[in-house]
Amino acid sequence: MKVFLSGGSGFIAAHVLDILLEQGHTVITSVRSEDKASKIRAAHPKVPESQLSFRIVEDIAQEGAFDEAIKASEGLEGVIHTASPFHFNVTDTKKDLIDPAVIGTTGILKAIKKYAPGVKRVVITSSFASIYDATKGNTWDHTYSEKDWNPVTEAEALENPSNGYRASKTFAEKAAWEFLEKEKPNFTIATVCPPLVFGPVVHYLNDLKAINTSNARIRDAIEGKWTEGIPETGVYIWTDVRDLALAHVRALERPEAANKRFFVTAGYFSNRVLANIIRKNYPKLADKLPGDSVQGGDYPEGGQASVYKTDNSRTREVLGIEFRSLESSIVDLVKSLLEVGLKG
Ligand code: NDP
């Protein structure tokens, strides 16, 4: 299949790209600069140019940003849209988070409808942020599934960067479903909703200072930043990037994934559990990690059993995903961070 992958320089997209290439798909991926394109190209020396090519899309928040890139990609059959800001360094929540998420999503859908009539399926990376209801708290006795929607309002979105990010994902996913209903395009869509994503980073795009947001806490832990106190865990559920990447590719390929949301969650974690996994598997890092007497990073009072429940049965049944263990994900992530650190 000929596939357009937006945001090929991202943490998750790098794994999606590798699975697509391994499975023999032809990939055109958008990045923001020639420099990023050449790094990705150099990391795939055995992949012929005919199988992997690049389009530059500098800012997905601009109306029509994807038009030229899609128009110049003849014969597309599928699209995976991952590009969207995931960070909290914002000065203007609407401009920095919400616009790129919403305009990026509607913009790529409009461009596909107009210029890529052969596309049959569009997979969009959404998030648990579009499912989770922050007003109910972490100990709400509820089982989250694809049926749930974050009720965040436009006013609440602007209250702080965390609300802004969650709202950006909610509004973008809602805009995609509305597009489908109103525009009745020739393609179907599937949205993929992961919670916090861990797993190996690819060395060619990273340095430890600019690691992606979900892996930053592990970088902080192994750099000794948790020895005086473990930060609050925040979200208590996670998934591995390789399982998530496979979920994207299967959501693209499988007819039965048409017009479905997928909650791609592997299980629970707390920051204290993460520190313990690292200590057990990397004894040489022990003096950088918090000891048992250091406060913080626990599950809410009542332990893991007090946290909301989750239902990932649709992802397992329709996409056939079997989830990796937390320990294997964190071990591989730390290994990749140590390699990136050595490179720097
Ligand atoms: P990254 O920050 O590694 O990737 C984000 C990607 O989006 C990068 O390619 C980035 O380009 C691109 N991007 C961001 N803003 C713009 C813009 N204005 N114009 C063009 N490109 C832009 O994060 P992840 O890989 O973790 O995130 C990928 C997707 O997964 C996002 O949609 C995110 O919301 C979602 N997600 C991530 C989770 C996680 O825990 N990691 C959890 C749930 C959802 P560049 O690198 O050049 O800045």
Model confidence over 221-231: pLDDT tens digits?
A: 999 999 999 99
Model confidence at 342, in pLDDT bands (50, 70, 90)? low
Q: Which amino acid makes up residue 282?
A: Y
Phi, psi of 140 (to 5 degrees): -60, 130
pLDDT-wise least confident of 2-11, 113-122, 198-207: 198-207
Q: Is the pLDDT of residue 309 over 90?
A: yes
Residue 27 near residue 256, CB atoms below 8 Å:
no
Which residue, by CA, sits nearest to atom 44 of ligand 1?
127
Distance (Å, rounded) from C-alpha 6 to C-alpha 59? Answer: 11
Read off the pLDDT of each residue in 186-201 and give the average, rounded to a whole number. 97
Enter the tokens of residue 272: 């204290």
Model confidence at 4, in pLDDT bands (50, 70, 90)? very high
Query: What share of the chain in percent tops pLDDT 90?
Result: 96
Enter the tokens of residue 168: 């950006």
pLDDT digits (tens, 9 = 90+) for 236-257: 999 999 999 999 999 999 999 9
pLDDT digits (tens, 9 = 90+) for 252-292: 999 999 999 999 999 999 999 999 999 999 999 999 999 99
Q: Is the pLDDT of residue 70 over 70?
A: yes
Q: Which amino acid makes up residue 324?
A: R
Q: What is the pLDDT of residue 207?
A: 83
Q: Is the pLDDT of residue 36 over 70?
A: yes
Phi, psi of 183 (to 5 degrees): -90, -15
Distance (Å, rounded) from C-alpha 180 to C-alpha 105? Answer: 12
Q: What is the pLDDT of residue 343?
A: 61
User: Smallest Cα–Cα separation from 223: which of 149, 88, 334, 70?
Assistant: 334
> Which ligand 1 atom is at minimum distance from the Cα of 241?
41
Q: What is the pLDDT of residue 344?
A: 54
Which residue, by CA, sits nearest to atom 31 of ligand 1?
84
From the CA of 83, how far away is ligand 1's center (Å)?
5
Q: Is the pLDDT of residue 154 over 80?
A: yes
Model confidence at 85, in pLDDT bands (50, 70, 90)? very high
Distance (Å, rounded) from C-alpha 154 to C-alpha 164? Answer: 9
Q: What is the pLDDT of residue 205?
A: 75
Is 66 a pocket residue for ligand 1 (Cβ < 6 Å)? no
Is 78 a pocket residue for ligand 1 (Cβ < 6 Å)? no
Read off the pLDDT of each residue in 149-153 and give the average, rounded to a whole number. 98
From the CA of 6, how far away is ligand 1's center (Å)?
10
Read off the pLDDT of each residue in 116-129 and give the average, rounded to a whole number. 98
Distance (Å, rounded) from C-alpha 3 to C-alpha 24? Answer: 11
Model confidence at 204, in pLDDT bands (50, 70, 90)? confident
DSSP 230: B
Residue 230 near residue 305, CB atoms below 8 Å:
no
From the CA of 281, how far away is ligand 1's center (Å)?
29
Q: What is the pLDDT of residue 290?
A: 97
Read off the pLDDT of each residue in 97-123 and give the average, rounded to a whole number. 98
Is 32 a pocket residue for ligand 1 (Cβ < 6 Å)? yes
Q: Is the pLDDT of residue 77 over 70?
A: yes
Is 200 a pocket residue for ligand 1 (Cβ < 6 Å)? no
From the CA of 94, how far away is ligand 1's center (Å)?
16
From the CA of 126, how far away is ligand 1's center (Å)?
11
Is 83 a pocket residue for ligand 1 (Cβ < 6 Å)? yes
If one residue of 4, 5, 32 were mutated to test the ligand 1 pocket, choosing by the most ligand atoms within 8 A of its CB, it would be 32
Q: Is the pLDDT of residue 196 over 80?
A: yes
Q: Give the 3-state secondary structure of residue 324.
A: coil
DSSP 196: E
User: Smallest Cα–Cα separation from 275: which of 229, 208, 207?
Assistant: 229
Predicted TM-score of the model (pTM): 0.97
Can you give the length of the chain in residues? 344
> Which ligand 1 atom is at minimum distance from the Cα of 100?
18
Domains of the chain (ranges, CATH numbers): 2-199+238-265+313-323 (3.40.50.720)
DSSP 200: P
